[in-house]
Amino acid sequence: MFGGKGITLIVLLTLILSACTTSRSTQNADKIMVVDMIVKLDRGDYWNTIRMGAEAAAKEYNINLNYLAPDNENDYREQIALMEESIARRPDVIVLAASDYEALGQVTDQTSYYNIPVISMDSEVASAKVKTYVGTNNYEAGQKAAERLVELTGKYSQIGIVNFVQGARNADQREEGFLDYVARFPNVQVMDIQYCGSDELLAYTLTKEMLVNYPRLDGIVSLSAESSIGAGKAVVDMGYAGKVKMITFDNPPEMLELLQEETVQAMVVQNPFNNGYMAIVAAVKAAHGERLDGKIPTDTKLIDLDNMLWPENQKLLFPFVK
């Protein structure tokens, strides 16, 4: 009964073949990747630009993006709650901009139980489970600010620093970068370092006090958008505009006004759009199991009066068409 066997074999092969094709076609109907992106705040130009970048990438890679943020930038408890809710939903990847380096470590570690890769962006988090960090090279940004300020004030000068949150990872790194660069010049003195806690008003009063305490100050560097706004206002109000050289961080519109009026000499501008975009690109790679570098730094740009209207900088400084 050789023929009988032959037929059985053919039928068997056909079944296997058809099984293969059907399984292939189900694979083709790939399910859409879901990425939960948990950031610090859901408003403000900076976060909206990050969101814009993330959405551009989500569209490009056909991803379902959930953009989540607490109501308050410093509310790490709500962020932990958001993380827990997200883990319960089992997204393919979580992108996290941690409001607190230490506090969010534990909840981040939990993701590894469920095999959810985590991409850290903007601010790092104390967890070894993070696949990569996408964000501004803060140390380098601090150094850039220092380099320009020393150029402006000269090698014999007094400098004040208006920082934002002491203990926040990016604040510390910017400060460290700045101080490390300034340390090369023995006659450049850092007279004072103040922390405004991301409060414009506090920054304003602290800067005012600083200018009163050190009237011979040659330069002020402010290391965040809020501290820059406060410091800028204080410098103008105290009549030091143009006399005290200012390097600021980020690009709130009021600071651009000051830049054009030459109160601020230069501003270190991050690229939040690229951060958001790169974070999603890294998330896609992580979901596909690709190995990622420990850090994916994005560049900062030093913007001054000369280059502020260059076409490539206009879009960076004014990300939104209003």
Partner 1 sequence: MRFWNVISRYLKGFHFRNIQVLISVSSITITVIVVLLVSIMLFDRFSKAAEENTFLGLGQTIEQVNANLELYVSGMEDVFDVVEEKINMASDVSNKQLGEQLDTILNTRDDLVSMALFTEEGDLVRNMPEIPMRQNTKLTEQLWFEKAVRKQGTLQYTPPHIQNLFKWQYRWVVSMSKTILYQDDARLKKGVLVIDINFRTIDQLSQRVSLGKKGYVYIIDSIGTIVYHPQQQLIYAGLKYENMESVLNYTYGSYLDYAEGEQRIITIQTVVPTGWKIVGVAYADEFLTTTKELSDFIIRVLMLVIVVVLIVNIYISAKISQPLRKLEKSVKMVEKGDFQTNVYVSGAYEVEQLSKRFNLMLRRIRELMDQIIQEQEAKRKSDLDVLQSQINPHFLYNTLNSVTRLAEMGKSEEVVTTITSLSRFFRISLSKGSHIITVQEELEHIRHYLIIQTIRFKNKFEYEIVSDEGVNDYLTLKLILQPLVENAIHHGIENSPDKGFIGIYVKSEGDNLVFRIKDNGVGMSAEAVEKIFSNVMRNGPGSGVGVRNVQERISLYYGKYYGLHFESEQEEGTTVTITIPIVKLEKELSEGEES
Task: Find the shortest distance in angstroms from Cβ 315 to partner 1.
Answer: 5
Q: DSSP letters of 39-95? A: -S-S-SHHHHHHHHHHHHHHHHTTEEEEEE--SSTT-HHHHHHHHHHHHHH--SEEE
Q: In what helix (H) or strand (E) does residue 259 lie, and over which residues does it extend? A: helix 253-260
Q: Which is nearer to partner 1, 280 or 287 (CB)?
A: 280
Q: How far apart are CA 102 and CA 212, in angstroms?
A: 36
Q: In what helix (H) or strand (E) does residue 274 lie, and over which residues does it extend? A: helix 272-287
Q: Which is nearer to partner 1, 176 or 254 (CB)?
A: 254
CA 113 centroid distance within chain: 26
Tokens 């951060």 identify what position?
A: 275
Which amino acid belongs to residue 215? P
Q: Which is nearer to partner 1, 10 or 201 (CB)?
A: 10
Task: Find the shortest distance in angstroms from Cβ 66 to partner 1.
Answer: 17
CA 242 centroid distance within chain: 30
Task: Find the shortest distance in angstroms from Cβ 76 to partner 1.
Answer: 29
Query: Buried (b) or exposed (e) across 98-124, using 16+ Cβ within 10 A?
Result: bbbbeebbebbbebeeeebbbbbbbbb
Go through the chain and tell me how many residues it has: 322
Q: In what helix (H) or strand (E) does residue 153 lie, and over which residues does it extend? A: helix 138-153
Q: Which is nearer to partner 1, 198 or 271 (CB)?
A: 271
Q: Which is nearer to partner 1, 224 or 271 (CB)?
A: 271
Q: How far apart are CA 303 and CA 251, in angstroms?
A: 9
Q: Which is nearer to partner 1, 160 or 272 (CB)?
A: 272
Q: How far apart are CA 283 and CA 175, in angstroms?
A: 29
- Comparing CA positions, the residue from 239, 231, 161 lying closest to residue 203 is 231
Q: How far apart are CA 152 and CA 265, in angstroms?
A: 8
Q: Which is nearer to partner 1, 183 or 309 (CB)?
A: 309
Task: Find the shortest distance in angstroms from Cβ 304 to partner 1.
Answer: 11
Task: Find the shortest distance in angstroms from Cβ 263 to partner 1.
Answer: 11
Task: Find the shortest distance in angstroms from Cβ 139 to partner 1.
Answer: 20
Task: Find the shortest distance in angstroms from Cβ 245 to partner 1.
Answer: 16
Task: Find the shortest distance in angstroms from Cβ 316 to partner 1.
Answer: 6
* SS3 assignment, position 310: coil
Q: Which is nearer to partner 1, 74 or 313 (CB)?
A: 313
Q: Which is nearer to partner 1, 169 or 301 (CB)?
A: 301
Per CB under 8 A, residues contacting partner 1 are 1-3, 5-11, 14, 17-18, 21, 25, 28, 53, 56, 59-60, 62, 253, 256-257, 260-262, 271, 273-274, 277-278, 299, 305, 309, 311-312, 314-319, 321-322
Task: Find the shortest distance in angstroms from Cβ 275 to partner 1.
Answer: 11
Q: What is the CA radius of gyration of the chain?
A: 25
